[in-house]
Structure 1
Amino acid sequence: MNLYSIIYLGLIVFLLYLLFTVGFPFLMAIIIALLIDPFVKVLTKVFFGRRVIASLVTCTAFFVIVIGSTYLLGLKGIRELIALSRTVVEYIRDNYDQLTDLTWSAQSFIGPYTQDMNLQINDFIKTGIDSLQAVVLGLSNALISLLQGVPGLLLDTLIFVVALYMVSMTLPKIRLRILSIFAEESKHKIEQVMQKLYSAIFGFIRGQLLLSFIVFTLTLLGLLIIKISYPFATAGIVTLVDVLPIFGTGSVIVPLAIFYIIKGQYFLAIGLLILYAVLFAFRRIAEPKILGDAMGIGALSTLASMYIAFKLVGAIGLFLGPAVVILVSALISADILKLNVKV
């Protein structure tokens, strides 16, 4: 690999990093504009070639569908969380005496043991309490950070909305301007790269939808088998949370299992933990394969790129890593980037 290729590759990675961080609203606007462009083209014919009107109608319809779906799903999820919170509070209130007796029984059980054993058990209990306090503190800090980030989130959302309308209206012109930068003999190569990126974007979204559908189905079947209340709503919440790389299915299923352990419903708790293990294994095994096939890159490349990028830049690396691999692969296949390694 010569120095030019190294500099070129480094510049590509740096530009992608900027897009996935400070330029994320514009990146999302470009991606959504590409996804809804087939509908814009159809409406452009309906409105006699007036792309501006077609883009306005399509983008507005997109936002109405997204906001409506988010509202309905969010409202359902909040209702289920409120119902679960009430169940927990009512259980503690109704079983306060039993919980107190359980505490005294635990203390009586510890009494006969040696002093060293008592110290070890006390240290274990203290560690558990400290861990619980750390979790509560972490959630509090996360909530504070979220509230502090609301102004920035609103600004990013506004930029995304405006950018989506503008990109959708001028997408053909943007494509022509990008091609005009390059020499005539190189334009077909650039078109190859753009086509592969377009296919990869669709493939990634299709892969994520397939993963979410399978996660929802597995969760729903598991909840129906162990007969958990509100199986459809719970499966929906688990699926939505599973999309978030930081949280995952465990952030819903594990606390729910702990709650049922406290209630003494051990069958439900064990069933939930088994379900979590199945979902965890499925995600780790199937995700690289499904996303790799959908995006046109190998499963090993997908897994390695996600892991390395995650270690380097955090959660955003789960998306940045495969994006780098896809772009580099497209540039190599179009004979724009040449990696001649001599041994």
Structure 2
Amino acid sequence: MSEERKAAERMLLRLLGVAAAFAVIRWVLPEVWDKMSPFIIAVPIAAALQPVIRFLQKRIKLKRSPASLIPVLLLLALFLGLIIWLLIFAIGHVPGIVSQSGDLMTESISTMRLAMSNLLTKIGESTDPGVADWIRNALTTLLERLSIWGTSIAQTVGTFVVNLATAMPYSIIYISFLTIGLYFIAKEYEEIRSYLPGGKRRKQDSRTTQLTNSTVKSLFGYLRVQGTFALIVGIVSWIYLTCFGFSYAGITALFCGVMELVPMIGSGVPYIIMSVIQFLLGNTAAGFQILFLTLGLQLLRRVLEPKLMSDSIGITPLESLIGMFVGMRFGGIIGLIGGPVLMSVLVGAFKGGLFASTARDFHLISVWMKNRLK
């Protein structure tokens, strides 16, 4: 068999492998996650508990079973304590926050109406009345849609609370299975680890190991970077808005911090809208204050993001930008978030030489086809 035919067969097998991998990701993995998620979640947690277990075994001289049980129970107690604290906090503060949010929504809509009225007055003084009427109708329609959107959000939140309460029995069962599974996996972790990528009982190619490590590093690194910026935006905004005496500084800072997690939108869009509204209302000082806050946050992100991204997911800002755009085109918001992670995996695969043999086969086939066509 000629080398060209062997290369063509290898290429065909790789294409079949890609199709099989797509089918697994599309149909098999969701089913596996739905049926096995407690035990999948337990594996990385058990790995994180291993230093504590080894410490209890060596220093306290405990056997493997109690040394595994103690950190699992402590982790469960910490989790339940956090849940109870959040419930107590929610019962004590959520009604006030909801009431304040309602006042904020009402005040925001009133402020927007006043700003639009001022804008229409200025437009009407310099343009045809028909143009002013058209703009007035368009803005009225926009406000109506915003009101509908706000009502939809309230209904969604209410439905979420009802579903959460309905899911409590299942959540208790889920946590029970997760806790018991975590104990057994932590206890037998060394044995289980030998079957995982890079384990002693599994032959693992160094390039595949590099790709696996790159994937995990990229995912957690990207989430860490986005969470860091969201936290920075929330804290800086709350301090800044409080110092300048803005109403609802806490809710505004929280909202913009959450918006910072949304790619391509961030905190800049809501702050720019707030600044424009303040200018239209004649509050020039407040408009410039919000504008300076926006510029400061964007400058801070532009200075820190390249360094944090390169350290966390191992790709350049340009590669990250390409990954975001391509991901957005394929998967919308989810693709926008996952694009840089996949780009990092591809870069790691190329650096690790994972596609070197494919490139050689493709070159061999190209040369053979070129010679055949002469």
State the TM bucket, normalised to the shorter chain.
Answer: 0.5 to 0.7
CA–CA separation in structure 1 for the residues paired with 2:98 and 2:274:
11
Following superposition, the deviation at residue 292 of structure 1 comes to 3.7
User: Which residue of structure 2 aligns with residue 275 of structure 1?
Assistant: 293
User: Which residue of structure 2 aligns with residue 34 of structure 1?
Assistant: 44
- Segment drifting more, 202-211 vs 181-190: 181-190
What residue ranges of structure 1 are gaps of 5+ in the alignment? none
Q: Would you say the 8 A contact 1:297–1:326 is kept in 2?
A: yes
Give the TM-score of the pair, scaled to structure 1. Answer: 0.68
- Segment drifting more, 208-217 vs 161-170: 161-170
Residues 195 and 66 from structure 1, CA distance in 2 versus in 1: closer, same or farther, beyond 3 angstroms?
Answer: farther
Any idea what SS the aligned residue of 1:297 has? coil
Following superposition, the deviation at residue 42 of structure 1 comes to 0.7
Following superposition, the deviation at residue 44 of structure 1 comes to 6.0
Residues 73 and 203 from structure 1, CA distance in 2 versus in 1: closer, same or farther, beyond 3 angstroms?
Answer: farther
Q: Would you say the 8 A contact 2:227–2:261 is kept in 1?
A: no
CA–CA separation in structure 1 for the residues paired with 2:266 and 2:33:
22
Residues 299 and 3 from structure 1, CA distance in 2 versus in 1: closer, same or farther, beyond 3 angstroms?
Answer: farther
Greater gyration radius: 2
Structure 1 residue identity aligned to 2:78? A
Which of 64, 75, 89 lines up with 1:49 in the alignment?
64
CA–CA separation in structure 1 for the residues paired with 2:135 and 2:279:
19
CA–CA separation in structure 2 for the residues paired with 1:265 and 1:20:
54
Q: Would you say the 8 A contact 1:301–1:325 is kept in 2?
A: yes
Structure 2 residue identity aligned to 1:134? R
Structure 2 residue identity aligned to 1:2? M
Q: Would you say the 8 A contact 2:196–2:202 is kept in 1?
A: no
* Within-5 A mapping of 1:219-234: 219-220=237-238, 222-223=240-241, 226-229=244-247, 231=249, 234=252
Which of 257, 275, 281 lines up with 1:239 in the alignment?
257
User: Which residue of structure 2 aligns with residue 298 of structure 1?
Assistant: 316
Aligned CA-pair RMSD: 5.1
What residue ranges of structure 2 are gaps of 5+ in the alignment? 1-9, 57-61, 367-374
Any idea what SS the aligned residue of 2:224 has? helix
Output one character per residue of 1:122-151: Cα deviation in whole Å (capped at 9) or x when no partner.
111111111122222334345545656664
- Segment drifting more, 278-287 vs 41-50: 278-287
* Within-5 A mapping of 1:55-74: 55-62=72-79, 64-65=81-82, 68=85, 72=89
Which of 135, 140, 146 lines up with 1:135 in the alignment?
146
Q: How many residues align?
A: 334
Following superposition, the deviation at residue 317 of structure 1 comes to 1.3
Structure 2 residue identity aligned to 1:297? I
Residues 214 and 160 from structure 1, CA distance in 2 versus in 1: closer, same or farther, beyond 3 angstroms?
Answer: farther
